[in-house]
Amino acid sequence: MSNHTNAATPEPHPAPIQVPLEWDTPMYRLAVDQLDQTAERMNLDPNIWERLRTPQRAHVVSFPFRRDDYKTVETVFAYRVQHLLTMGPTKGGIRYDEDVNLGEVTALSMWMSWKCAIMNLPFGGAKGGVRIDPHTLSSDELQRLTRRYTSEIIEVIGPDRDIPAPDLGTDERVMAWIMDTYSQQMGHAVPGVVTGKPIEIGGSYGRREATGRGVITCAKEACRKIGMSLDGSKVVVQGFGAVGAVAARLASTLGAQVIGISSISGGTYNPKGLDIDAIDAWLKQNGDDLKSYPGGEPVTNQELLELPCDILIPAAIQNQITEKNAASLRCKMMVEGANGPTTLEADAILADRNILVVPDILANAGGVTVSYFEWVQGVQQFFWSEEEVNRKLIELMQAAYRNVDQLASDEGVTLRTAALMRGIGRIKQAKHVRGVFP
């Protein structure tokens, strides 16, 4: 029986937070506001509600980082936040970004908790961040930074504790350096300390493409729901990184016309469809410069979001669709590859305008799902083929989408609210059966 519930009549809402919390930033507020709205709707036990509003552990570190010139030593701030230790080890990516802060990482760790619960994965949410622009670093600098950050958080990560993965600004190389640094300290190889690592050291086939594949699986499901076909639809993708580039390529392979894509410096638009192979080749020659791509017209990131299309896929950063531009979006549906791209106010505007939104915690859960496959394969030392990974991922994503969609219909709520209800509901059940220590 639960011992989370007080004998006295519980307050209808957790007590307001009096003193500003260290992680109290706009992005954290967004995550908490989403939780609060959903908890109210679910009539969630207020004791559990309050526990879910703050992370269980939040580590802030600062460390010296030497540049290649061997003169400059900078102080770098970095974070690792573990939101929920109830469900198993914690799991979540590490982002390298010059604006990252404790509030952002905390919000992302909360979303990871809901995401893992929606997908029924045996993990709680975590997230890490290093406050630096990775594009200014040489490969040696990136490696030194990664190894020092790993040694700063070494006590709190581990294959049974907390398992990092790639996110914005990090990739397979970074995961390999984390794995190597951790293993050096332990005295033996510990591949299970990270996921999203290279195949040569126990990575999984299909992990690199997993988030984009999950996004497109959700887009297909959402198309089916509204009687539209992905084949022949017009797609716009913001962000051409690990998530966006794969989503664009898969959409195009499935017959969609990708008419707009962008990176941090701007984008390109062609209403007749862009050739993804030609864009890949262009980017190899010209760095990040999509604006000058000769096969399309230059657009700013803001213009890109407002292009007329069937499916908009924000796959870059948070806070992109706000009350300022939500009324100007000209898509039929939006499938969120990025975490937190839509503010609460924008969400309400899109719902009013009948634009179907597949929320981040469902749409981009393919990454953590294949990370889970990677972890399972590592534990068993038995590795699956790429076809097997992709098939299992698509099965789980379809099942999760349909489950959330059914709940949305039953409760008469948006997919975002239904996804939050499903994730938070499963965590609530786990907390009830575990009880409170001591």
Q: How far is the CB of 108 from ligand NAD (least distance, A)?
A: 7
Chain position carrying tokens 């503010």: 343
Give the whole-angstrom CA distance, residue 202 versus residue 196: 9
Identity of the residue, 109 or 228, whose beta carbon is nearer to ligand NAD in the bound complex: 109
Q: How far is the CB of 48 from ligand NAD (least distance, A)?
A: 26
The helix (run of H) or strand (run of E) holding residue 369 is helix 366-380
Query: H helices within 119-230, ranges in order?
Result: 139-152, 172-186, 207-225
Query: Residue 328 carries which DSSP code?
Result: G
Q: How far is the CB of 296 from ligand NAD (least distance, A)?
A: 16
Mention every residue, 6+ apart, whose C-beta is less than 8 A from residue 285. Answer: none
Q: Which of 46, 55, 128, 169 binds ligand NAD (CB under 6 A)?
A: 169
Identity of the residue, 207 or 428, whose beta carbon is nearer to ligand NAD in the bound complex: 207
> Across-strand partners of 333?
311, 356
Side chain identity at 172, as an amino acid letter?
E
Identity of the residue, 138 or 265, whose beta carbon is nearer to ligand NAD in the bound complex: 265
Chain position carrying tokens 């609530």: 428
> Across-strand partners of 312?
236, 334
Q: How far is the CB of 339 from ligand NAD (least distance, A)?
A: 4
**Contact call for residue 316 and ligand NAD (CB under 6 A):** yes
Q: Which of 14, 55, 92, 166 binds ligand NAD (CB under 6 A)?
A: 166
Q: Which of 339, 369, 377, 390 binds ligand NAD (CB under 6 A)?
A: 339
**Contact call for residue 239 and ligand NAD (CB under 6 A):** yes
Q: Are the C-beta atoms of 414 and 405 separated by less than 8 Å?
A: no
Which one of the spans 63-71, 174-182, 232-240, 391-399 is the region binding ligand NAD (CB under 6 A)? 232-240
Q: How far is the CB of 16 from ligand NAD (least distance, A)?
A: 29
**Contact call for residue 242 and ligand NAD (CB under 6 A):** yes
Q: Which of 38, 146, 211, 343 binds ligand NAD (CB under 6 A)?
A: 211
Give the whole-angstrom CA distance, residue 281 versus residue 178: 30
Site string for ligand NAD, 283-302 (x = CB under 6 A): ------------------x-
Query: Residue 24 carries which DSSP code?
Result: -
Residue 187, sorted as left (phi over 0), alpha (psi -120 to 50) or beta, turns out to be left
Mention every residue, 6+ apart, whose C-beta is less than 8 A from residue 340. Answer: 27, 30, 31, 107, 108, 111, 318, 319, 360
- Residues in the interface with ligand NAD (CB under 6 A) total 24
Which one of the spans 38-46, 147-155, 331-339, 411-419 is the region binding ligand NAD (CB under 6 A)? 331-339
C-alpha distances out from residue 163 to 119, 155, 190, 192, 349, Å: 17, 12, 11, 8, 37
Q: Which of 50, 162, 167, 180 binds ligand NAD (CB under 6 A)?
A: 167
Q: Are the C-beta atoms of 171 and 140 separated by less than 8 Å?
A: no
**Alpha-carbon radius of gyration of the chain:** 21
Q: How far is the CB of 77 from ligand NAD (least distance, A)?
A: 19
Q: Which of 338, 357, 358, 362 binds ligand NAD (CB under 6 A)?
A: 338
Which one of the spans 63-71, 187-195, 224-232, 310-318 is the region binding ligand NAD (CB under 6 A)? 310-318
Query: Residue 314 corresponds to which tokens in the numbers above?
Result: 């924000």
Query: H helices within 80-206, ranges in order?
Result: 102-118, 139-152, 172-186
Q: Which of 202, 260, 367, 423 binds ligand NAD (CB under 6 A)?
A: 367
Q: Are the C-beta atoms of 298 and 304 separated by less than 8 Å?
A: no
Q: Which of 127, 220, 428, 431 is catalytic?
A: 127
Q: Which of 46, 128, 203, 337 binds ligand NAD (CB under 6 A)?
A: 337
- DSSP secondary structure of 335-353: E--SSS-B-HHHHHHHHHT
Q: Which of 241, 260, 378, 423 binds ligand NAD (CB under 6 A)?
A: 241
Residue nearest to ligand NAD (CB): 241
**Contact call for residue 243 and ligand NAD (CB under 6 A):** yes
**Contact call for residue 364 and ligand NAD (CB under 6 A):** yes
- Please give the biggest Cα pair distance in the chain: 69
Query: Residue 150 corresponds to which tokens in the numbers above?
Result: 């790993």
Identity of the residue, 38 or 262, whose beta carbon is nearer to ligand NAD in the bound complex: 262
Q: Is residue 127 annotated as part of the catalytic site, yes or no?
A: yes
Q: How far is the CB of 50 from ligand NAD (least distance, A)?
A: 27
Q: Which of 264, 355, 376, 413 binds ligand NAD (CB under 6 A)?
A: 264
Q: Which of 118, 126, 311, 315 binds ligand NAD (CB under 6 A)?
A: 315
C-alpha distances out from residue 399 to 216, 218, 289, 292, 366, Å: 14, 10, 38, 41, 12
Q: Are the C-beta atoms of 293 and 268 separated by less than 8 Å?
A: yes
Active-site amino acid positions: 127
Positions in the binding site for ligand NAD (CB under 6 A):
166-169, 211, 238-244, 262-264, 301, 315-317, 337-339, 364, 367
